[in-house]
Amino acid sequence: MNIRKNDTVLVIAGKDKGKKGRVRFAYPKDERILVEGINFIKMHSRATGRVRQAGIIERESPFHVSNVMLLCSRCDHPARVGFRILEDGRKVRFCRACGEVVD
């Protein structure tokens, strides 16, 4: 998966298309991410105990990583991400637009 926690991403599909946000969680196994301020869903909750309030609450929910592109911090473009192996054997991501290593 080419998106990781704390990346800034641009949403390219769905109802939040065009919005930017920071990746709060990444779930590589499911290829899903949770992004700040993106993909709010309404959840109907019932009061259980003292803590939770009854009613409709909105919260972010994870969505598939293919709906976003990485925003390159260098050139500020939505970047297609490439992988490159460094001399010390580390595998890093880089921005295909400007060539900058993202990791």
Please select the residue that binds Zn ion; options are 47, 86, 98, 101, rule is CB under 5 A: 98
Considering CB under 5 A, how many residues would be counted as binding Zn ion? Answer: 7
Cα separation, 5 vs 63, whole angstroms = 14
**Position 97 contacts Zn ion (CB under 5 A):** yes
Which residue(s) pair with 33 in the sheet? 26, 63
Q: Residue 47 or residue 98: which is nearer to Zn ion going by CB?
A: 98
Contact letters for Zn ion, residues 1-40 (x by CB under 5 A): ----------------------------------------
Longest dimension (CA), the chain: 56
Query: Is 89 within 8 Å of 26 (Cβ atoms)?
Result: no
Amino acid code (one letter) for 57: I
**Position 75 contacts Zn ion (CB under 5 A):** yes
